[in-house]
A and B are shown apart, each in its own frame.
Chain A
């Protein structure tokens, strides 16, 4: 089955600096890659996602890049703010082409923004 690895497990950056979180996946059939933000005791919330037909997607301060050949994708947060502090999870799915919608998650990155 699919295996998703995520690095780093913890990340501290100064407010205003950029943060990058990287994930690799094992199943070349995966074609949908969402990123979720989870604050302590809260539900995971989707912040951005990318499908395999594009290499990059951006939404204000957040961007995701995908390299299908290398089977890795990354989350980039620019101009970080204290409210960006949370645990971030990457995930991968084969999607509806295979009738297999389940998400396989990475182990998470605890991001701390230092004021």
Chain B
């Protein structure tokens, strides 16, 4: 079946602009995660949804970052007033339920000029 998909695959923006990154989880997966991966590093947790609600948003670096999952499926990560330090690959993962294997999407490479 189809895996986790993310759009766009690449996003180049200017400092101060607003961006939205989209994640389509595997059908039927109730849990969805956002991670951020900088060059040469492991993924770092941002936020976790169980259904429509954010069960853990402790990884969001500041209030410029926000994520939603209004219908318990697709999720959007929103970044306001982007900064050069936000440049990274943003990975989405989904799992069938609590404690199950997390399957990753291909990521969105965000470049802030």
B107 contact from A43, A45, A93, A107, Cβ within 8 A: A43
Say whether A108 contacts B40, CB under 8 Å.
yes
Query: Could you tell me the distance between the alpha carbons of A104 and B41 in the complex, rounded to whole angstroms?
Result: 12
Interface size on B, residues (CB 8 A): 26
Q: Using a CB-CB cutoff of 8 Å, which residues 19-64 of chain B contact chain A?
A: 31, 33, 35, 40-45, 48, 55-56, 59
Query: Could you tell me the distance between the alpha carbons of A36 and B101 in the complex, rounded to whole angstroms?
Result: 11
Residue numbers in B under 8 Å from A93 (CB-CB): 99
B43 contact from A6, A95, A103, Cβ within 8 A: A103
Binding site for A on B (CB under 8 A): 4, 31, 33, 35, 40-45, 48, 55-56, 59, 91, 95, 97-99, 101-107
15 new A-B contacts at CB < 8 Å, known A43-B91, A103-B45, A105-B43: A34-B102, A95-B99, A96-B98, A99-B55, A99-B98, A101-B48, A101-B95, A101-B98, A101-B99, A102-B33, A102-B45, A102-B56, A102-B59, A104-B45, A108-B41
